Structures are given as C-alpha cells and as structure tokens.
Amino acid sequence: MQILVTGGAGYIGTHTCVALLAAGHQVVVLDNFSNSQPQALARVEQISGQSVRLYQGDVGDASLLQQIFAEQQIDAVIHFAGAKAVGESVELPLFYYRNNVTASQTLIETMTACGVKTLVFSSSATVYGDPHTVPIVEDFPLLPTNPYGRSKLMVEQIIGDHCASPKTQGFTGIVLRYFNPVGAHPSGLIGEDPNGIPNNLMPFIAQVAIGRRPELSVFGDDYPTIDGTGVRDYIHVCDLAEGHVRAVEKLHGNYGCHVFNLGTGSGISVLQMVQAYAAACGRDIPYRFVARRAGDVAQYFADPTKAREVLGWQATRDLNDMVASSWHWQSTNPAGYSSTKD
Ligand code: WQD
C-alpha cells in the first residue's frame, strides 16, 4: 500500500516510516517541521535504502491535502501530526484544539471527499485520565484531565461518529492509544529529539547521561507504588511502529471504528528506569526527589489483550532494549539531528 504519514518526520513518525518501508509499503510524508527536523527523513531513507516523498505543510491545509490525494495514490493515512505536551496544552488550549482537533477534522473531511477511506489515528492513554484500576482496558471510562488529552478524545469521537454515520460510504478508523513510547531504532540513526528541556522521563535521563543536564528531578517519591515513584507502561518505539503496520494491514477496508491500547502490559517505576539506564550506559545518573508534578497519576499500564487477539501484535522488546537503544541514539547524536540544540 502507499501510506500518507502526517508528522512523518517526528519521533514515532520516522520509526513508523522505517517499519512501513521494511514491510514493503510506500511512504509519503506530510510534515510542517514545527517539532521535527528534515534531517530525520534523510536518516529514514538511509536506513531503508528507499526514497520518501515529502510534502511540507500543515494537516489543516485542505488544498494541500487535496493536492496530495490528487498526485499520489494514497491507500491509507497514518496521522501523527499534532502537539503533545500536557503542560503546554494547559497554557494554550485553543492552540491545541485548533492544531489537534480542527486539523484532524479537515483531514477526515478531505480524505472522505477524495475517496481515501482508512485512517490510523495516533491517540494516547491520556484519554483515560486517572484510571480507577490497572491494567487499563479499552472500554474503561474516558476522563482526560487536560486539554491535550481532551483533544485526543475529541478526535476519537469525531472518527467514531463519522464511521457510524449512515451517510458515510464506508470508512475505517483505527484508534491507537499509546502508553509511553521510548527507545530508538537499533541503527542509532533516528531517535527522540525533543526541542528544549524534555518533558518526558526517558529523553531527560538520556540528556543527563550524555552530560547535557546535571541531574534528574524525580517528581515525587510518595506514590502508592513499588518504590514510591511513578509507574508507567513504557513501550519500545519500534514495537509501537510495528503495531501501526500490523493495524493498517489487518484492518484496511474493515469499515468501522477500531480502538486498541498499544502497551506492554507491565509497569516500570522512575527509579527502575534510572537504574536500567545507568546499567546500559555505564554511567551514574544523578537525581533528587522533588514535589509531585501537577496532573501526574501514581501508575498506569495497559491491558494489551485486544491488540494481541485482534491484530496478532504484541510488544517484544524489553526494558534493556529500550534503554540500550536510547543510549545508542543519544551517545551517537549528542545534539540530536542538529547542532542548534540548547
Ligand atoms: C513518566 C514518569 C513522571 C520527567 C506523558 C503524557 C502522555 C504521553 C507520554 C503523549 C512520571 C516521571 C518525568 C521527569 C520524572 N505523551 N518524571 N521526572 O507523564 O506518563 O505521559 O508522556 O502522548 O500523554 O502525559 O510521561 O515521561 O512525562 O513521565 O520524575 O523529569 O516519569 O512523574 O511518573 P507521562 P513522562
């Protein structure tokens, strides 16, 4: 199939492009490079030995989307493009709703008008909010607690309603709820390259390990968890990428809305991650305990049964694969894709 990947120059986007190309598909990328680097696509081509057709621009630009669908025979769209910082979403909700929700609606409308009927949507476990228990199953209550999570839920609902409409002439919506993507492609050529100070744990630890940050602040040590620190379902980005390939191959043409958790089903604490990273890089990771971060929950991890039973997919890479691949990427690319990092 030929797949349009929006946000294809981003962290998960590049890894998914590599996985799609490895599976024999063709890739067209739409990216505005607001939170990614063109160099990342050159690395995708280097890894795959294949070319990637690039359109630079915004998902909300209907005329650009119409041009892409007219010029390229697109069988399905994988939609990553969007803003994803929880804290930023609290400060700039209108930007998040325009960038994540309005743009996604424009994409769905234009796909439908142009006869492109399969959409894989990059959603997030954040739609669950603070779960009443773990592991989390897809039919749990959807109670996001921030504008970012609400923007993801709104798009899920738009997709579900579009699929359910009797006026819709067959549309396949595949909603993938990511838990915590980490790690990097084993080549060390692509990886996570956040702008500014990393919000997320793994890239922050990586920058401490490489010497770009003096120490890690651990947000709380009094949670009701194995060691008092936050527990999350970290999933290797290559497992996540392969999950996208499997989903689009398995469900293309299967009209309706399909929702899956993409996680490992097990939880890892902040301290366990720090210890694993230190062992992988052979360096001490200095840290100190500080106050809890607003909005954090004690623990969440996925029940990945549905993806395993319906898609025939499950994560296969373990914690050591995650930290070792992250370190390989970070140590061979100390400043990410460009030397203009802070
Ligand atoms: C993980 C754990 C922190 C940084 C977020 C988004 C979610 C998704 C993934 C987009 C927590 C602790 C972190 C640090 C720390 N993003 N931590 N010091 O919050 O589970 O999920 O990223 O889809 O939507 O909400 O991930 O990596 O920020 O935090 O102690 O400097 O690490 O408290 O327990 P999170 P995270």
Structural contact between residues 289 and 243, judged by C-beta atoms closer than 8 angstroms: no
Per-residue model confidence as pLDDT tens digits over 91-116: 999 999 999 999 999 999 999 999 99
* Mean pLDDT within 231-252: 98
Confidence of residue 338 (pLDDT cuts 50, 70, 90): confident
Percent of the residues in the chain that have a pLDDT greater than 70, as a whole number: 99
Crossing angle of helices 62-71 and 103-113, rounded to 10°: 40
Beta carbons within 8 Å of 166's beta carbon, 6+ residues apart: none
Confidence of residue 81 (pLDDT cuts 50, 70, 90): very high
Atom of ligand 1 nearest to the CA of 181: 9
**How far away, in angstroms, is 200 Cα from ligand 1 center?**
5
Q: For ligand 1, atom 10, name the residue with the nearest CA.
A: 84
Per-residue model confidence as pLDDT tens digits over 154-210: 999 999 999 999 999 899 999 999 999 999 999 999 999 998 999 999 999 999 999
- What pLDDT is stored for residue 30 in this prediction? 98
Q: For ligand 1, atom 18, name the residue with the nearest CA.
A: 218
Per-residue model confidence as pLDDT tens digits over 257-301: 999 999 999 999 999 999 999 999 999 999 999 999 998 999 999
Q: For ligand 1, atom 33, name the residue with the nearest CA.
A: 219
Q: Does any ligand 1 atom lie closer than 6 A to the CB of residue 99?
A: no
Active-site residue, selected from the candidate residues 96, 148, 277, 287: 148
* Mean pLDDT within 25-53: 97
337 is catalytic: no
Per-residue model confidence as pLDDT tens digits over 118-157: 999 999 999 999 999 999 999 999 999 999 999 999 999 9
Q: For ligand 1, atom 4, name the residue with the nearest CA.
A: 201
pTM, rounded to two decimals:
0.97
Percent of the residues in the chain that have a pLDDT greater than 90, as a whole number: 96
Q: Report d(CA 221, CA 218) in Å as an integer.
A: 7
Angle at the Cα of 257 from the Cα atoms of 168 and 131, rounded to 5 degrees: 140
Q: Interface pTM (ipTM) of the complex?
A: 0.98
- What pLDDT is stored for residue 169 in this prediction? 86
Averaged pLDDT of the chain: 96
HSE (side-chain half, CA atoms, 13 Å) at 184: 28
Atom of ligand 1 nearest to the CA of 148: 24
Q: Report d(CA 213, CA 243) in Å as an integer.
A: 33
Contacts of 163-167 with C-beta under 8 Å, sequence gap 24+, read 163/255, 163/256, 163/257, 164/256, 164/257
* Mean pLDDT within 84-92: 93
φ and ψ at residue 180, rounded to 5 degrees:
-115, 95
* Mean pLDDT within 12-26: 98
- What pLDDT is stored for residue 341 in this prediction? 47
**How far away, in angstroms, is 172 Cα from ligand 1 center?**
31
pLDDT of 339 higher than 70 = no
